[in-house]
Amino acid sequence: MINRLKFHHFGLAARDPDQAAKFVQLLGYNCGAPVFDPLQNVFLRWCEKQGEPSVEIVSPAGSDGPLVNILAAQTSSFYHLCYETTLNSRSIIKFMRESGLRVITVASPKPAVIFQGRNVSFHLVHGFGLIELLESTLQDLNMVDIYNV
C-alpha cells in the first residue's frame, strides 16, 4: 500500500519567503503569488520547474504558528516531503503502524487552499521525518481504497 504514495513536493520553511523565492527562481523555477491558508496559519508559495520536483515555500503567518520551532535556529529549512495518495490518509497511517513504523500525527486532515481544498495532513515518521499526505479528490480516484478504517 505505501508504495502507492507518489512524491509530490519538497516543503521549505522560510522566515523570508521572498528571498527563498528569489533563489528558487534563479534556479529556473516559476513561483506563484503567495497565498494565505487560514486553517494552517501560514503563507504558501508554489514553485514549479519542468522536469524538476516542485517546491512549496511555507512562511509563518504569526508568531505562534506551526513553523515556530522549525525556524527558531535557522532562517530556512527543508522540513517536509509531500506524498500524494489516492487512498485516505487514515488508511495509509494505519498500514504504516501495522507494519511496525512509529507514526505520530502532527496535523489531522484539513482542506488546503493551495491545493484547491484537497485534504492534507502531517505525520512524523520515526527514523524518517515529517511527511505531508495530499489526498486526491473523489474525481481523481483511480484505485479502490481497500484499507478503510
How many CA atoms are closer than 13 Å to the CA of 144, on its beta-carbon side?
A: 1
In tens, the pLDDT along 44-82 reads 999 999 999 999 999 999 888 889 889 999 999 999 999
pLDDT class of 146 with cuts at 50, 70, 90: very low
d(CA 53, CA 29): 10
Bridge pairing between strands 54-60 and 6-14: parallel
Tell which residue, 110, 112, 114, 111, has the closest CA to residue 34.
114
In tens, the pLDDT along 84-100 reads 999 889 999 999 999 99
Encoded amino acid at 53, one letter: P
pTM of the model: 0.88
Question: Residue 41, by phi and psi: left (phi above 0), alpha (psi -120 to 50) or beta?
Answer: left
Q: Which residues contact 75 (CB under 8 A, 6 or more apart)?
A: 14, 15, 16
